[in-house]
Amino acid sequence: MDPYIWFLLLVAAMILGLALGWIGGKKIHLPGWLDKALAPMGLGNEDALTGEELLEQLDEDTLVRVLKEPRNSLVKQYKALLGMDNVELVFTDEALRAIARKTIERKSGARGLRSVMEEILIPIMYQVPNDPTIVKVTITPETVAGGEPVLEYGAVRKRYKGTVPVV
């Protein structure tokens, strides 16, 4: 066979391997229909990472980083939401770890972080607009476990930062 054809086959195999998600000698679990389609080509899932194995790689530290570090992280999103009412939202490090632990217990991975955060913060987001004296909300591990957040009160705050009041 022509060496040029071998070269094209090699490049196609490399592109296919990258497209299928080869990671460090292992590949991500393929959907059943795709796995059956590729089995005759010798590209089966003998050493595939399953969803359980991928979830095991998301430890507490990793989930805390997912909560804090991205540019549009959940912590920053909720701080911005409460910031519209001129209320400061603070998460203790222990609270973030408790949120990560709760997500690991549910086995819901990084996507489950949002549901845990919503469970904690939705009641607070309804409470803050109704009480104009709340200036700071602190989320603690007790809050994550089902308790009340630590609320700090002050003078009546201006609502809706950055908007012009309607006269």
The per-residue pLDDT for range 39-55, each reduced to its tens digit, is: 544 444 455 555 555 55
Q: Provide the domain limits for residue 43.
A: 3-55
Same domain, residue pair 29 and 99: no
- pTM of model > 0.85: no
In tens, the pLDDT along 71-97 reads 999 999 999 999 999 999 999 999 999
- Whether 134 and 76 share a structural domain: yes
Q: Please provide the size of the chain in residues.
A: 167
Residue 67 shares a structural domain with residue 108: yes
On the question of pLDDT at 164 being above 70, the answer is no
* CA nearest neighbour of 79 among 113, 111, 114, 121: 121
Q: Which pair of structure tokens corresponds to residue 157?
A: 């705050």
Q: Do 8 and 88 share a domain, yes or no?
A: no
Domain match, 72 and 148 both: yes
In angstroms, rounded to a whole number, what is the distance separating the alpha carbons of residues 109 and 115? 11
Q: Do 146 and 66 share a structural domain? A: yes
Nearest to 28 by CA among 43, 10, 40, 15: 43
Q: 98 and 39, same structural domain? A: no
DSSP 23-90: ETTEEEPPPHHHHHHHGGGT---TTEEPHHHHHHH--HHHHHHHHHSSTT-HHHHHHHHHHTTT-EEE
The reported pLDDT for the residue numbered 142 is 97
CATH, residue 108? 1.10.8.60
First to last CA, the chain: 83
| Same domain flag for 68 and 131 | yes
Q: Is the dihedral of CA 31, 35, 36, 37 positive or negative?
A: positive
Q: Is residue 160 in some structural domain?
A: no
- Our count of domains for the chain comes to 2
User: Do residues 62 and 51 both lie within one domain?
Assistant: no
Q: Is 84 found in the same domain as 13?
A: no
